[in-house]
Amino acid sequence: MLSKRNLLGALGLCLTLSLASVAFAQDKKPFDRANFEAAQAAGKPILIDVSAPWCPTCKAQAPILSRLMSDPRFKGMIAFSIDYDSQKDLLRTFNVQRQSTLIVFKGKQEAGRSTGDTNPASIEAMLAKAI
C-alpha cells in the first residue's frame, strides 16, 4: 500500500516532468525550412527533436532537453520540433525511422544523432558536438 508520502512524491515527480515538458515545448519551434536554412547559413548550433505526443521515450527526453537548453553553454542553440505522426516528408528529408530521434547540426554539418536515448549525460555530449 502506498504511503501518503510516497503518493505525494510520485505526484510531485509527475508535475515536475509535465512542467519541464511544457517548458521545452515552448523553447522549440515547429520546423520551418527557411529558419532552419538561415540558422545553418549563420553557423548556429541546431537541435531537431523528432517526437510524438504518445511516445513515452519522447516524454522522458523532454525534461532532459529542457534542462540542457537552459544551460548557458547551449544558449545559442536553436531547437526545432518535427511531429513524427504528421510530418512524414521531413522524416524522409532527415532520414528518420523512429520517434524520439534527436539530431544536432553545427551549421550545415550534421554533428550527431540519437534515437531512443534518455541518458542525460549522452544527450548532453551529443548537444555539445554542435557548439
CA–CA separation, 33 vs 17, rounded Å? 30
Residue 4's pLDDT is 59
Residue 29's pLDDT is 87
Q: Return the C-alpha cell found at 20.
A: 519541464
Residue 126's pLDDT is 95
- Looking at residues 50-56, what average pLDDT do you find? 96
Q: Which amino acid is at 70?
A: S
- Looking at residues 84-94, what average pLDDT do you find? 95
Q: Quick one: pLDDT band at residue 74, thresholds 50, 70, 90? A: very high
Does the pLDDT of residue 73 top 80, yes or no?
yes
Which of 22, 17, 124 shows the shortest CA–CA distance to 74?
Answer: 124
For the domain with range 4-128, which CATH number is right: 3.40.30.10, 2.10.240.10, 1.10.940.10, 3.90.170.10? Answer: 3.40.30.10
Q: How deeply is 130 buried, as exposed, middle or buried, from its count of CB atoms within 10 A (0-12, 13-18, 19+)?
A: buried
| 29 contact partners, CB below 8 Å, separation of at least 6 | 35, 78, 79, 80, 81
Tell me the per-residue pLDDT of 3-51, one tens digit each, with 9 for 90 and over.
555 544 544 444 444 444 444 444 678 999 999 999 999 999 999 999 9
Domain ranges of the chain: 4-128
Tell me the per-residue pLDDT of 102-125, one tens digit each, with 9 for 90 and over.
999 999 999 999 999 999 999 999
